[in-house]
Structures are given as C-alpha cells and as structure tokens.
Amino acid sequence: MDKWLNNLVNEVRIYLPQVDENRLATAYEISEKFYNDKRKKVGVGYMLVRPREVVAELMDFKPDEDTIVAAFFFDALDSYDYSDEDINVFFDGDFVRLLDGLKILKGVKLITEQSEDKIDLLRKLLIVMAKDVRVLVIFLASKVVQMKALAVVPDDCKNVFVKNVLDVFVPIASRLGVYKYKLILEDLCFKYLYPEKYGAVGKQMDRLGKKKNEFIENTSRVLKDYFEEKGFEGVRVSGRLKGVYSVYTKLERKGLEKASDLHDLFAVRVILPTKYVDVRGEEDVSHLYEILGMLHSQWKPVPSRFKDFIAVPKPNGYKSLHTAVVGLSDGEQCFPVEVQIRSTSMHEEAESGVASHWLYKDGRVHSEWVERLSDLHSEMKDGDSVLEGMETDIFTDRIYVLTPKGDVKELPKRSTPLDFAYFVHTDVGHRCVMAKVNSKIVPFDHTLSTGDTVEILTKKDQSPKLEWISIVKTSTARAKIRNWFASQDDQRHVRLGRDQLNDQLKRYGKPLLNPDMRILKNYAGQKLNQQDRENLLKEIGKGTQSAGNIIRKIFSHEELMGGAKSVGTKLQKKRRSIKTDGVVSLEKNVVVGGLAGVAVKVAKCCVPTITDKLVGYVSSKGVVTVHKSDCKVLSRLSVDKFVPVKAKSEAKAAAGGDLYRVHIKIEADKRIGLLGDVGSRIAAQGVSIFSYSPNSASNEDRAIIDMHVDVKDLEQFEKVLDGLAKVDGVHNVSKES
C-alpha cells in the first residue's frame, strides 16, 4: 500500500474502526491516476488541485468515509470515465448525492462584474447546502489548497479568484462555524489583494509574536497550575495570536496604527473534559461554572466582558463561557486577558462548526442558517431576488434575539418583528397581528437589536398586508409575502390594487379612479388600453408594483406638492443669524443633553456639520467636543463621558434649503394621547409642525386634525404620511389643497 495512503488509513481507523480500506484505496488510486494524467497535459502555471491535499485539509475535522471518498473524486468529476450505474453499484446513494453536489459547484465560473455570474454561483450554493452541507465543506477545503498554491498563477487570474474567495467563501466559512478555514482564507486573501498592508501588519505581528507567545505560555502555565492545585484534572490551557487580517480590521475599526496598542490580540482557552449527566448523553456543565467562579475569585473580572454562551448558545451551536480578568501576569497587569472556558466537545464544535457533525450520515446538519437558505432557494423566483436575498441573509452583520422561551434566533442586522415572525414560520408571519419586544408593544417596523426578547401574537383570520413588503428587511420574508399575494385570484388582485391606488390618490388629494381608470391611460410614456390598465392594478395587488411608484409616474413632483407653498423666504432672517460665510455654525446651534448654551467645539478629526448625526464628548475642562456619531476616534474614548447632542431645528432648516408648507388632514378615533402620538411620528422624520387645529367630527367618537407641516421634499412628505398612517386609531391621512 502507498505510504501516504497507509498513513491516512491508520489515522482514520483511530476514530472510524470499521472503515472500508479497500474503498479508500480504490478512490485514492482513481484520483491519483487522473491527477498525474492531467498534470502532464496542463503543465506549469495552472492551478491544479491534487485531491489527496484536499483530503489532508479535511482530516483535522475527522471526516466520515463518504466525505473522504468524495474528496478524492473532487478534481476527476468532469473527466473520469464512469457511469452513474457503475457508481451506484460500487458506492451507495448517499455518496452519489455528495458527488452530485460537487459536480454542481465544479461547474461554477469565477464571478466577474456581471451579476448573472454571481446569481449562478449563489443559486448553486443554495442547492448544495439544501442537499448536503458536507459538499460545501469539501469545497472550502479545496479553496484552501488552491489559495496555498497561488504563487504559480498569473496575477490577472489570481486577483479575480482571490476576490471571489474573500467575498463569497470566507463569509460562508464563518456562518458554518468552520473557523479554521475562515482564518486561513482571509489571511491569504489579504496577503494577495493588499500585499503592502499585509506586509506592514505582518512585520508588527512578527515583532510582537515572541513577546506575546511567551506571555500566552506563562499565562497558560499559571492557570493550569492553579486549577490543578484546586483538584481539577485533565485541564488543558492554550492560546494563540489572532491572524494578520483580523488584527488589521481591528486597527481600522479603532482608528489605530500599531498592533501593540491592541490589548485583545489573543484569547486563552481553558478546556475541561466533557462530563455527562446520564446515559442519555446530556452534558453536565457544572464544573465549567465552578472553574469560572474560581477564576473570578483569584483575579479581578471585567464585568462588561462576561458572556454566557452555554446558557444562551449562538444559533450555529457555539457554546462557551467568555470572561476577561486583570492581573494574570506580573508583567502584563495593565490590560485584561480574555479567557474562554468550555468542555472538550464544545471546543471541537467551536473549532469545526458544521464539520463536527460528520456522523450525521445524510449530511443534513440541523443548522438554522442552512435551513433558512433552503427556504430562500424555494421562495426566490428570479435571479435578482436570489442575489438580493443571499447578500441580505448571508453577507450582512447579524443580530441575536430571543424567543419568550429563551431560544436564540439569528437575523440580519436591521431586521424587524415581521422578519422575526416569518423566520419562525411562514404561517406565523402571515397571521401576525401584534409584536412585543421586551414585553412592550412595538410597531411592525421597529428595528430589533441583539438581546431583545421578541413575542409575536397571531390570529387565524389575519392575512398579509401589501405595506408589509416595504417594512420587512430580509428577502426571505419579502418573498413569502409576495408569494402569498401571487397565490390569490386575479380579480382579488385587481380589487386590492384599485384600493391601494385609491388610497394613494386620496392621500394626495387627487380624484379617485373612475370605472375606465382614465387616469392610467397615459402611463410612463405609453398609452394603455383597458386590459393594460387592469393588469397594472393586478400587479399592484400582487405586490410586484408599488402604488406609490405608480403615482409618481402619473404625476410630477410639482403636481403632487401642488398647493404647498415654499416657505424658504420666511427663513432668510433666521438664516442670516445662524449662518457664517454661508456655513451653518455648529457651535452656536446645538443642544447638549437638552441644555442650550453649553460650551462646545467642533472635532477636527471628523469635522461634523449641522446635518450629521452627532455625539458629544466632555473634556477635562468641561468643554463638549462634537463628533460625527460614526467617527473612528470615539472607539478610543471613555463611554462614560459621552453626551447626547442635537442640532436646533431652525439650524437644520437653514442648512437644508427651502421647505414646503403642506396642509394635512387626519381622521382618527378620539382617545387620550392621540395628539402626542401624531406629534411623535412627525418629529421622528425631523419635520416641524407649523400649526394644528383639532376638531370634533359629526360623530363624537371621531376626531379630525388639520395640520400644516414644513417638509423639504416629496420623499420626506411621504415618510410623514406613512408614519401617521401607522398611529393607533388613525383611519385616514390625506393632503389638502
């Protein structure tokens, strides 16, 4: 037997005693023959993957037999002469599914600037993940092998390939929890795409490496000795420096230049033997919390750095206790050291992610993220939706929210309660009537944050609303809503579309549709016949067209804002008192913490203006320095000294150009707090109320509110109308002439 193959079989036999050696040997021989034949044909300068190197990359994860055999066939899929019948005789159906998945991904082209290429890749990723996630782990291993062999590839091909890996496969490795591949791939991508930056940070890490590694060794020894003295056996303590790319992103995020200024360049891991409560396999974690208590009693903990991912695991299954303590080493007492405490089984899952589940024979790992991608694939009907959906649901930052039972759910950042409802189940989304966040009722467009507890209330007779399409942020939820409307009958769509368009016409004080829909006769530069007009209403009813967009194509900006007078001239006197040399003076026109007259100065690092989102920092002399809210310098300042800063409304008006004074009529149920809620919705859009007059309607249970508000453009006016329509008890909001 070949020496390399013999070593492989011995390694596999340790964790799979019943491994079929003949099967591995046959697959190995086929793959080596194909590789050697192909190498003779292509010569030097071609990025040829040797299958046994892919297998070697997988071995840290203890792959199952089918995965190893499939990896051997990785580069022979398109050229080796075999039939499906032959494979079914020699290999079982589970293995054939793995091969099918690899065939799909092998046919993917490199992504160029053409979105069709990206759509093709993302569709294929969805298909293989839905079938068997092991395919993707094999493919990631092949990318690692290819990245390590890039030196022989011409630069023009190299850059496109590397950008593909960084943009697509690094995020997927992260989501799957395969952090070994994530770290290797992002460092190699950084090296090839930005060699100068990589070299600069790499040199700093080389200089720091010896010192930091000595500190890690000393710290690990101190912790291990301490825990063994306390009677804990089998404790492993280790640590490692962060990768070059990770250090670079931290420096960028914090606005620093030197890696030595970072105090979280590494983490120390305390790994204890896995214990089980009983034969059912439930893990006992009491010894992990006991270790945590001992650590905190011996060294000073940093309360803000404690996280319990055992009580509340991450959605990808990650479990660990995270803390930080000060004073672990005599020479390094000036900064806290991060310590992660976990069992052996938790550590294996933390390092390998879905790859720690090879023993699931069918490869169907129960991951919420993978299941959500399967939903995405089944819901999306067109290429653009796939592209948008994958970019929203894979490649964006995440938040972690809780169900009332304490289960953790992972969602894209900026998700709403409606997104959460559709994430739980399609029917929960369709029947949603109310949302509570942290036990308080919130509107459907409320933005969720990490740590929120979300409760959804439903009714059997509830159905989706068209406006939900513009509320939800995830493409999966949006697709489910659109598909519901698309499943309704045509005449229902026409009725819904007519109602939606009439609501918009009424909102702007325009005549409602007549029976022949004459207002749609000349639309977007075309003449529409009766059937075309009905089809347009049908599209609105299905949710594939927005009534608001239709209105804007029928009427000009001036027609929609007709009757609204420009009030810019009335602000000129105020502007002259506010502006200096044509620029609104920020120092004299901000309110700090609700108080005017506080001494302020403009930060030179970001140079904020009156229209930016602002935050203040109190200096030792009591002067408030005003920064942009996204200024990088803020990450280096003490949070305790931050104060809220707002621009005065008249200053914002002066900076924003002419305003339009618009007359709005609101019809609503009479109730206590109605005016306050109306005012809050208007203020949320940064709009000033010029005047208002509440009047009783003929029905004493109804109120009519006439308002004049100052808006800067049609877009802002529409946001005001949308906000007012969501106020509890409001039946109608419209613009008056």
What CA–CA distances, in Å, run from 302 to 80, 217, 269, 306, 325? 59, 22, 17, 7, 6
- Cα distance between residue 610 and residue 703, in whole Å: 37
Q: Which residues contact 219 (CB under 8 A, 6 or more apart)?
A: 237, 239, 268, 328, 329, 337
Contact 377, 112 (CB under 8 A): no
- CA 479, 481, 482, 484: dihedral to nearest 10 degrees? 120
- CA 239, 243, 247, 253: dihedral to nearest 10 degrees? -110
Residue 581 — very low, low, confident or very high, per pLDDT cuts 50/70/90? very low
89 in a structural domain:
yes
CATH assignment of the domain containing 474: 3.10.20.30
560 in a structural domain:
no
Three-state SS string over 154-173 comes to: CHHHHHHHHHHHHHHHHHHH
Three-state SS string over 229-246 comes to: HCCCCCCEEEEEECCHHH
Residue 444 — very low, low, confident or very high, per pLDDT cuts 50/70/90? very high
Handedness of CA 719, 722, 728, 732 (dihedral sign): positive
Q: Which residues contact 581 (CB under 8 A, 6 or more apart)?
A: none
Q: Which of 728, 663, 653, 731 is nearest to 697 (CA)?
A: 731
Q: Average the pLDDT over each of 24-38, 123-137, 177-191, 304-318 and give the range with the smallest value.
A: 123-137
Do residue 155 and residue 80 come from a single domain? yes
DSSP 520: G
CATH assignment of the domain containing 103: 1.10.3210.10
pLDDT at 572 over 70: no
pLDDT at 367 over 70: no
pLDDT at 584 over 50: no
pLDDT at 115 over 70: no
**Whole-number CA gyration radius for the chain:** 31
Q: Which residues of 174-211 are buried (b: 16+ CB within 10 A; e: fewer)?
A: bbbbbebbbbbbbbbbbbbeeeebbeebbebbeebeee
563 in a structural domain:
no
- Cα distance between residue 65 and residue 19, in whole Å: 7
409 in a structural domain:
yes
Q: Which of 293, 185, 337, 317 is nearest to 246 (CA)?
A: 185
**Helix H or strand E encompassing 93:** helix 93-106
723-733 average pLDDT score: 87
Select, from the ranges 285-299, 325-339, 365-379, 639-653, the one with the highest average predicted confidence (pLDDT).
285-299
The position carrying tokens 């007078």 is 565
Range of the domain at 331: 202-357
Q: Which of 356, 267, 273, 272 is nearest to 60 (CA)?
A: 356
Do residue 260 and residue 147 come from a single domain? no
**Helix H or strand E encompassing 11:** helix 3-15
pLDDT digits (tens, 9 = 90+) for 232-282: 888 999 888 888 988 888 888 888 888 877 777 788 999 999 887 655 567
pLDDT at 383 over 50: no
Contact 323, 341 (CB under 8 A): yes
User: Which tops the pLDDT comparison, 504 or 358?
Assistant: 504
Do residue 417 and residue 384 come from a single domain? yes
- CA 124, 128, 134, 136: dihedral to nearest 10 degrees? 10
The position carrying tokens 């109120």 is 703
- Cα distance between residue 624 and residue 342, in whole Å: 44
Question: What is the token pair recorded at 637?
Answer: 């300042």
Contacts of 616-623 with C-beta under 8 Å, sequence gap 24+, read 616/592, 616/642, 616/643, 616/644, 616/645, 617/641, 617/642, 617/643, 618/642, 618/643, 623/599
- Cα distance between residue 610 and residue 492, in whole Å: 49
pLDDT at 181 over 70: yes
562 in a structural domain:
no
> Last residue of some domain: 654, 679, 712?
654
Do residue 286 and residue 326 come from a single domain? yes
The pLDDT assigned to 626 comes to 87
643 in a structural domain:
yes
Residue 362 — very low, low, confident or very high, per pLDDT cuts 50/70/90? very low
DSSP 581: T
The fraction of the chain above a pLDDT of 90, given in percent, is 15
Q: Cα-flanking dihedrals φ and ψ of residue 432, to 5°?
A: -70, 130
Do residue 97 and residue 62 come from a single domain? yes
CATH assignment of the domain containing 680: 3.30.70.260
Q: Cα-flanking dihedrals φ and ψ of residue 249, to 5°?
A: -65, -35
The position carrying tokens 């740590």 is 451
> Last residue of some domain: 625, 654, 683?
654
- Cα distance between residue 514 and residue 205, in whole Å: 73
Q: Average the pLDDT over each of 271-275, 308-312, 425-429, 692-696 and give the range with the smallest value.
A: 692-696
Contact 664, 707 (CB under 8 A): yes
User: Which tops the pLDDT comparison, 41 or 343?
Assistant: 343
* Bridge pairing between strands 440-442 and 454-458: unpaired
549-562 average pLDDT score: 76
**Helix H or strand E encompassing 630:** none
Question: What is the token pair recorded at 235?
Answer: 């404790």
Select, from the ranges 171-180, 200-209, 331-340, 622-631, the one with the highest average predicted confidence (pLDDT).
200-209
Question: What is the token pair recorded at 544?
Answer: 């594939």
The fraction of the chain above a pLDDT of 70, given in percent, is 75
Mean pLDDT, the chain, rounded, equals 77
Do residue 208 and residue 319 come from a single domain? yes
Do residue 53 and residue 164 come from a single domain? yes
Do residue 249 and residue 177 come from a single domain? no
The pLDDT assigned to 339 comes to 92
**Domain count within the chain:** 6
User: Which tops the pLDDT comparison, 377 or 253?
Assistant: 253
Do residue 224 and residue 304 come from a single domain? yes
362 in a structural domain:
no
Contact 521, 527 (CB under 8 A): yes
pLDDT digits (tens, 9 = 90+) for 120-137: 555 556 555 556 778 888
pLDDT at 547 over 50: yes
> Last residue of some domain: 172, 193, 214?
193
Residue 342 — very low, low, confident or very high, per pLDDT cuts 50/70/90? very high
pLDDT at 435 over 60: yes
What CA–CA distances, in Å, run from 393 to 114, 177, 305, 564? 21, 16, 28, 41
Residue 113 — very low, low, confident or very high, per pLDDT cuts 50/70/90? very low
The position carrying tokens 């502006």 is 579
User: Which tops the pLDDT comparison, 115 or 693?
Assistant: 693
501-514 average pLDDT score: 85
The pLDDT assigned to 573 comes to 36
Do residue 213 and residue 187 come from a single domain? no
The position carrying tokens 């089809």 is 535
* Bridge pairing between strands 283-284 and 565-566: unpaired
Q: Which of 377, 384, 310 is nearest to 350 (CA)?
A: 310
**Helix H or strand E encompassing 27:** helix 21-42
546 in a structural domain:
yes
Residue 555 — very low, low, confident or very high, per pLDDT cuts 50/70/90? confident
Quick one: 465 exposed, middle or buried, by C-beta within 10 A (0-12, 13-18, 19+)?
middle
308-324 average pLDDT score: 82
pTM score above 0.75:
no
Do residue 22 and residue 131 come from a single domain? yes
The pLDDT assigned to 129 comes to 59
Residue 578 — very low, low, confident or very high, per pLDDT cuts 50/70/90? very low
62-73 average pLDDT score: 88
Do residue 176 and residue 230 come from a single domain? no
